[in-house]
Chains A and B, each alone.
Chain A
Amino acid sequence: VPFPDRTDSDPDGTGPTTDGAPALDAPVRVLVADDEEDIRLLVCVAVRKAGCTVVAAVADGAQALLAARAERPDLLVLDVSMPEASGLEVCEQLRADPATAGARVLLLSAGASPDDIARGLAAGADAYLPKPFTVAGLVAQVRTLTVGARA
């Protein structure tokens, strides 16, 4: 089993990290940002089903950036249309900052046109999942993106 099946017992993100390099069996740490609470919770469920830990679940782009700098997650699952800063803007700023440039980014969006997808990937996203997504599809995508994230 590549990922320990842990529940989100550590929502504040003060999670189990050792002083230097993280332990090999440390859970993959995921930040979730979506302004729709129902969707945010659904994404959190899917992330946990994929065996990862949710280190922060926020409702806008500005909070997402703050949390990303504080928590240094392995993966961010970002909604594209959010207040304060869109998922695209968050993604670009993460890529521009060496401290966060290495994180994986999965964008979720109601926009499913090829243009939308191209814009998302141009902003630096690793993957783009159109809404409505299936839980199974999201779980699979999170697993794909986090393979080797802690290796």
Chain B
Amino acid sequence: MTALAERPAAPTEVPPSAAPRRRHAPAALAVVAAAGLAVLVLAPNPTAVVLAVAAVAAAVGELTRRLRAQLAAAAELEVQRRDLLTLGQSTAEELEVATRMMRARAQTMTSVIDAVTEQSIIGTDRDGLIRVWNPGAERMLGLPRAEVVRLRTITDFHAPEELSPDDAPEPDPGARFATLVHGAQEHGSDVRDWTYLTADGRRLTVSVAITPRTDDDGEQAGWNFVGTDMTEARAAERLKDQFVSLISHELRTPLSSILGYLELVLDDEEQPLTDEQRQYLNTVERNAQRLLRLVGDLLFTAQVDAGRFTLQPEDVDLAGIVRAAEETARVTAANRGVALTVDLPAEGLVVRGDALRLGQACDNLVSNAVKFTPAGGEVTLRLRTAWRDADGTVVDSATPSTSPVALLSVSDTGVGIPTGEQGRLFTSFFRASTARRNAVPGVGLGLTITKAITTAHGGTLGVTSVEGRGTTFTLALPLD
């Protein structure tokens, strides 16, 4: 009994396994009380009566105490119930807020998708059946949403020949769809030009970004196709290409005639020219060559812009290239009174590159240096091995984080380039103020071309210059 009385009263703190015992305790106390009362009524012995009264009193006291404890527990339960109710209410409120937010978000998504009228946004299920069709798609392909969603597959709007592998000219719709999403399946996303067929039979060149769409569980639910109509842009690009190649052809053809016939006259041994005639015709030839170089530079710049500039890599001895550039510039330098010196490693320095293009880059740097250096000045070509940091800084000694480079520096004692203009040097048609002031001929393509060639080789082109003192261009090419 004492043990029972000492039990903690709060029911919440009692382990569940103790619950049956707790329920039996009042019954046991009642039995004790009843037995006490029976003794009280039946026992003739006063001692027994005293004992029985004591027992009944103790039992009644214990019962009262238990009852109070149960009442307290009930009150506690009521508090908890109220708490739970409040919690439930607030959870319901939160749920409603979340639902509202979800709805708002979906609304935002839908309105964003619906606001896009210049791009087609098409969503499909995993098999290509269309589920999303925005106004951009309506406008581009000429069909309203109601006639498409859940009724048509995306491959219906693609030029069939683009989705037919060569070995299967008549593939089933599933195979066609697999061809369409193949790139995105392989790489996670895919952007390329496809031909869309519109409702009225037009063919559009559309740049389509294809991405997979996942549901809430991260499972793939389908595909997204976001398309931009590039028909006009591509036509303009083609026109520009045609224009450039036409100009190139139309300018080169007359220049071919001029140079060819000049050569016939200059080399005619049967009818030798007077010195004066020869001098005049040499001037004509020199200028025709200059025009020809300009046409070549323009064509090359157009190719770089169009991303159609490719290298023919081979092992190239840079020392040989520098020597050739020096030979090309030697006569001009001598005529201008500029000293030209070269400092090359005797054993040469071989890089992987396009000999023709590297020669062009080197020629540009050397002819620039000579062109911008007044009489009495000096141009130095120096080729050596150096090292390049991860951030592109060229250093003189190797460390574990550096990689070797072939370093060509072309230094002059010329007019220099103002500090503020050095950042724009490699922009097409940019000419430094010192070039314009000193009336140095040129159109501002040489450095653009040199930079493009260097970059295509994985190299860097740097410049340091002090106005009135001279300029050094440094070309670094990776040594593998």
Contact = CB atoms under 8 A, between A and B. Distances in A.
B253 A134 contact: no
Contact of B257 (A42, A115, A136): A42
B248 A110 contact: yes
A99 interface: no
A132 B255 CA distance: 7
B103 interface: no
Interface of B: 248-249, 252-253, 255-257, 259-261, 263-264, 267, 292, 310, 312
Contacts of B248: 110
Given A42-B257, A110-B252, A135 B310 contact: no
Given A110-B248, A114-B310, A132-B292, A39 B256 contact: yes
A19 interface: no
B288 to A, nearest CB: 9
Interface of A: 36, 38-39, 42, 45, 81, 110, 114-115, 131-136
Given A42-B256, A42-B260, 11 more contacts: A38-B261, A39-B253, A39-B257, A39-B260, A42-B257, A81-B249, A110-B249, A132-B259, A133-B260, A134-B259, A136-B263
B264 A135 contact: yes
User: Which secondary structure dominates chain B's binding surface?
Assistant: helix
A81 to B, nearest CB: 7
Of listed A39, A131, A134, residue having the most chain B CB within 10 A? A131
A82 to B, nearest CB: 12
B267 A132 contact: no
Given A42-B260, A114-B310, A131 B267 contact: no
A98 B255 CA distance: 38
A36 B264 contact: no
B249 to A, nearest CB: 5
Nearest to A115: B310
A114 B312 contact: yes
Given A110-B249, A114-B310, A131 B256 contact: yes
Nearest to A81: B249
Q: Closest 10 A-B residue pairs measured CB to CB?
A: A132-B256, A38-B257, A42-B260, A110-B252, A135-B263, A110-B249, A131-B256, A132-B259, A114-B312, A36-B253
